[in-house]
Amino acid sequence: MAIVRALWPVPDEAGVLAELLHADHRSIATATTVPTPEAVLAALEELYAAPAAGEPDLPEGDAADPVEPAATDPAAVIAAARRRLLTAPSRTAAPAGSPAAGEGPADVIVLADPEDGPRSPEFQFDPDTGQPRDIVVRINRILLADRDPWGAADWWLGRNSWLGGPPASLLGRVPDDRLADAALALVEEGGR
């Protein structure tokens, strides 16, 4: 369960992990059965072995699809998730205290890219003004983006079964309060 909490919400396109944890996606609060660590690791292995939505299903070992390390190694799973998050469009992180960094430390997600330095995913910013979007700041504070920027980025960029897609892709397409409610649901379920 520590692995799941470290990665929650994982990009669960196949619904494997969600099905394992709680069949109706809301019964976790009343469920008394906790999956075994082996079952969780098997679900994570199956999840990361499956291609993400929209990705081609290449044969194992194809040069275009390098084989990831065994998903039973938590460090390998986390490293793979971080590599995936760093592929999202981003910009050099603004210095703390600048308008583009927001007013507080949790306002804008900053990811430590080992090659390019601190990066902020582009979805967080208004394309016209370059300033952080109000709803993004609100949700980043809920998700404690200053303490767990990778988890916050994964919530925004990973598929969300309650919303029907990655929350970042739904900005401006679904009501802001619906996005905030989904983030609050995660926190209220003890996912953080």
Report pLDDT digits (tens) over 69-123: 445 678 888 889 999 999 999 999 998 888 888 888 889 999 999 999 999 999 9
Q: Is the pLDDT of residue 138 over 60?
A: yes
Domain tally, the chain = 1
Q: Evaluate whether residue 155 is within a structural domain.
A: yes
Q: Which residue has the higher pLDDT, 9 or 161?
A: 161
How far is residue 24's CA from residue 112's CA, in Å, rounded to a whole number? Answer: 36
Q: Evaluate whether residue 100 is within a structural domain.
A: yes
Contact 94, 134 (CB under 8 A): no
Q: Is the pLDDT of residue 162 over 50?
A: yes
Q: Is the pLDDT of residue 192 over 50?
A: no
Q: Evaluate whether residue 75 is within a structural domain.
A: no
Q: Evaluate whether residue 15 is within a structural domain.
A: no
Q: Evaluate whether residue 41 is within a structural domain.
A: no
36 confidence band (pLDDT: 50, 70, 90): confident
**CA-derived radius of gyration, the chain:** 17
Look up the pTM and report it: 0.62
Q: Evaluate whether residue 54 is within a structural domain.
A: no
Q: Report the amino acid identity of residue 74.
A: P
pLDDT value, residue 75: 87
45 confidence band (pLDDT: 50, 70, 90): low
How far is residue 71's CA from residue 192's CA, in Å, rounded to a whole number? Answer: 22
Q: Evaluate whether residue 119 is within a structural domain.
A: yes
> Which residues constitute the domain of residue 94?
88-192
How far is residue 149's CA from residue 190's CA, in Å, rounded to a whole number? Answer: 17
Q: Evaluate whether residue 135 is within a structural domain.
A: yes
